[in-house]
Structure 1
Amino acid sequence: MQDASKVEMVKDQIWVVGGYGQVGQMICIQLGQAFPGKVWAVGPRLNRAEEFSRSTNGAVLPLQIDVRKHIDPVMLATVKLVVMCVDQMHTHFVEACAEAGTDYMDITAKYDFLAQVERLHEHMQAKQATAMLSVGLSPGVTNLLVHEAVDGMDQTDDVNITVMLGLGEKHGKAAVEWTVDQMNTTYQVTQKGEYAEVDSFDDGRWVDFGEQLGRRKAYRFNFSDQHVVARTLQIPTVSTRLCLDSRWITRAMSLAKRVGIFRLLRISSIRNATVKAFGLIPGGEEMYAVKVDAKGWTNGKPIVMEQLIVGQREADVTAAVAAATAEKMYQEKLSPGVFHIEQVLSIQDIQRVLHTPLQITTRIS
């Protein structure tokens, strides 16, 4: 008989934490088709995981684990890749992945948490594990579009990222809570190489979203991509703004900001009521749009590059990009350490793996 203690563990599992949630399910389904029997929907509620597993005819398997509690790295011995779809407060689980030599990918938009993970770069390198951050639409696709613009210039001076979200799409509770919590924040951006303090839903800017959507006024919002690409791509001025597909609701939110109504979101009962109200707003479409406007210099002459993507269902594109990135990480050994997506991949890398490539319109003047 073979000595069981000498049998080497096969490291071939994919854990999708939050795999029975809105975006997590879509990621699981795509990965389950590519790697049947290797994908596990992980979360604290076993009944939800089992119900979802049955709906996939067993292509995705259920696993009850609460990653908010202490996880022994031994539990990850057979896990090659973790895809994180829930927000975390600390990096204990990421550190457990590093100890187990398990690659890690996160779709969170919370920059304060991403900054914590960045500090694990040397630890990840030492353990020969890779952590991929800023995966999704914004951050994610936006980072890659900015990288594409920077590659097309000798020098990039100024980048404006704008995200339009459709009110017709019903987002998960965590996503809505994050959006509401950002409405009354003050944060720092990079302007001419220096840090400057700005407020969410302030400093409106007109943005051209093309013939279909026209010009819209968008307002500053604390998406993580603006913080990341300013540093990773060494751009002196970067900002990200948000608008909704409803012009009048966007204007109403801007007015609410100006008269101080958003300050009431500090009161938990008003904050919770606002979260519920977002799910009750009538009208709108299940759409999204992202626009990157970059200014710089090429061959001594000024250049402006505009990149636009308009699509259906923001959650779908976030899941598709995350699944495509996960497939690449599962099949290829990337450099160990902590990276944001634009530091490792290009928009072309993602386009080649996506089942339905993004329709990108580029204009250079």
Structure 2
Amino acid sequence: MDKDRIVVVGGYGAVGSIICQELGYKFSGKVYAAGRSLERAERFSRETEGRVLPMRLDISRPVGPEELAGVKLVVMCVDQQDASFVRACFRSGSHYIDVSANISFLAKVEALRAEAERGGSTAVMNVGLAPGVTNLLALEAYRQLDRTEAIEITILLGLGDRHGQAAVEWTVDNLGASFEVIRQGRAETVGSFTDARLADLGGAIGRKRAYRFPFSDQRSLPITLNVPNAATRLCFDSNAVTALLAGARALGLHRLLGLKPLRSAAVACFGRVHLGSERFAVQVEAIGEKDGRAATAVYRLQGRQQSELTARCALDTSEAVYLAAMPPGVFSIEQLLDWQKMSRLNQEKLEAEVRS
């Protein structure tokens, strides 16, 4: 059987549906919106007039090779706890794109590099807004300097935006996370909503206090760009909400999210209560030297509805992997692509400067 199908897991969700819609126009009849609910997949398929086909797929159980027969590319838009499904993709020779930010899951997929190479599969990790756009902008900033000592990433999310269920759950579940980062070339454990830093995001947004959060770009960039330090911090458009979460972390209140009723209430609150705007902002700073002097290269991107930009990054990556011959293995997005190769993303307006 020819391998020409594209399976988007979570394909009827907030980001996955955008990916399916656009790929469905270009590869009609070859794109499948997959998930546990066949009913939702079928309803979505009807909305696309059959350009996207429905598929029931539960990745929480073992997936046999017959379910991936004919599948050339899998685009993953839901979080996973273990890499069993990714391993099944590699064994079937399917390419794999991961639209998630889970720093611990990235390590699990990286451990399967040899299996990907044996299966002839290309896996692209760190695809989306953060990580994804952040990785590509980090590469651009890095290229502006002669030597880079640190990458500092700041992400602002609007609380008025309609975030997908998976994104909301991931954010809530990581409010009290501890995770490993690279500092001065060595592994170090830090906590979410600690290690504050003021960042000037420019324009009407101005200065914001942002805190560490476990986006996976800060794990990959020290390796792919060979820099000794990388940090990714998060804030919201509401200063009060950002400060509240940092205060709750400092007081140890994040531990209460281990109680299912409180965790469910927090997810519902984030998902349904829209206190701010739909805007987002990303700033990437490469700090180092240029022409023998201290310098900082800064790239900024602002917009509205971050799900749209996440989907655009995934679409550019999906088309590149589906249509071109890529080397087998496990890669971070900036190892295979750059901003100029992203036909949708590079239409966005970037602010860039080098300060010395």
TM-score range, shorter chain: over 0.9
Q: 2-side partners of 1:209 and 1:330: how far apart?
A: 35
| Letter of the 2:309 counterpart | V
Tell whether the 8 Å contact from 2:144 to 2:354 is kept in structure 1 after alignment.
no
1:178-235 superposed Cα distances (whole Å, 9 cap, x missing partner): 1111111222221111222222111221111112211111111111111111122111
| Letter of the 2:154 counterpart | T
Name which of structure 1's ranges 278-287 and 218-227 shifts more when overlaid on structure 2: 278-287
TM-score normalised over the length of structure 1 = 0.94
- The SS at the match of 1:212 is coil
2:338 is equivalent to residue 362 of structure 1: no
In the other structure, the counterpart of 1:312 is 304
| Letter of the 1:358 counterpart | E
Q: 2-side partners of 1:198 and 1:72: how far apart?
A: 38
2:233 is equivalent to residue 241 of structure 1: yes
- Aligned positions of 1:1-365 closer than 5 A: 9-350=1-342, 353-354=343-344, 357-365=347-355
Q: 2-side partners of 1:112 and 1:279: how far apart?
A: 24
Structure 1 runs, 4 residues or longer, greater than 6 Å off: none
Q: 2-side partners of 1:187 and 1:97: how far apart?
A: 27
| Letter of the 1:335 counterpart | P
Following TM superposition, by how much is the alpha carbon of 1:261 offset from its aligned partner in structure 2, in angstroms? 2.1
- The SS at the match of 1:114 is helix
Q: 1-side partners of 2:274 and 2:70: how far apart?
A: 47
Following TM superposition, by how much is the alpha carbon of 1:280 offset from its aligned partner in structure 2, in angstroms? 4.0
- The SS at the match of 1:167 is coil
Bigger Cα Rg: 1
1:276-323 superposed Cα distances (whole Å, 9 cap, x missing partner): 121343431111110011111123222111110001111111111101
Q: 1-side partners of 2:338 and 2:242: how far apart?
A: 32
Tell whether the 8 Å contact from 2:313 to 2:345 is kept in structure 1 after alignment.
no
Tell whether the 8 Å contact from 2:41 to 2:54 is kept in structure 1 after alignment.
yes
Q: 1-side partners of 2:347 and 2:192: how far apart?
A: 32
- Unaligned runs of 5+ residues in structure 1 are 1-8
1:221-275 superposed Cα distances (whole Å, 9 cap, x missing partner): 1111111111221111111111101112212222222233223222222222111
Q: 2-side partners of 1:89 and 1:255: how far apart?
A: 28
Identity percentage of aligned residues: 44
Q: 2-side partners of 1:175 and 1:54: how far apart?
A: 25
Following TM superposition, by how much is the alpha carbon of 1:155 offset from its aligned partner in structure 2, in angstroms? 1.3
| Letter of the 2:161 counterpart | E
| Letter of the 2:193 counterpart | F
- The SS at the match of 2:203 is helix
Name which of structure 1's ranges 190-199 and 177-186 shifts more when overlaid on structure 2: 190-199
Q: Are the structure 2 counterparts of residues 20 and 249 from structure 1 closer, same or farther at C-alpha, using a change threshold of 3 Å?
A: same
Q: 1-side partners of 2:35 and 2:253: how far apart?
A: 37
Q: 2-side partners of 1:218 and 1:131: how far apart?
A: 31
| Letter of the 1:361 counterpart | E
Q: 2-side partners of 1:92 and 1:266: how far apart?
A: 25
1:150-175 superposed Cα distances (whole Å, 9 cap, x missing partner): 22222110111000000001212221
Tell whether the 8 Å contact from 2:33 to 2:53 is kept in structure 1 after alignment.
yes
Structure 1 vs Structure 2 CA RMSD: 1.5
Q: 2-side partners of 1:276 and 1:316: how far apart?
A: 22
TM-score normalised over the length of structure 2 = 0.96
Q: 2-side partners of 1:155 and 1:317: how far apart?
A: 30
Count residues in correspondence: 355
| Letter of the 1:359 counterpart | K
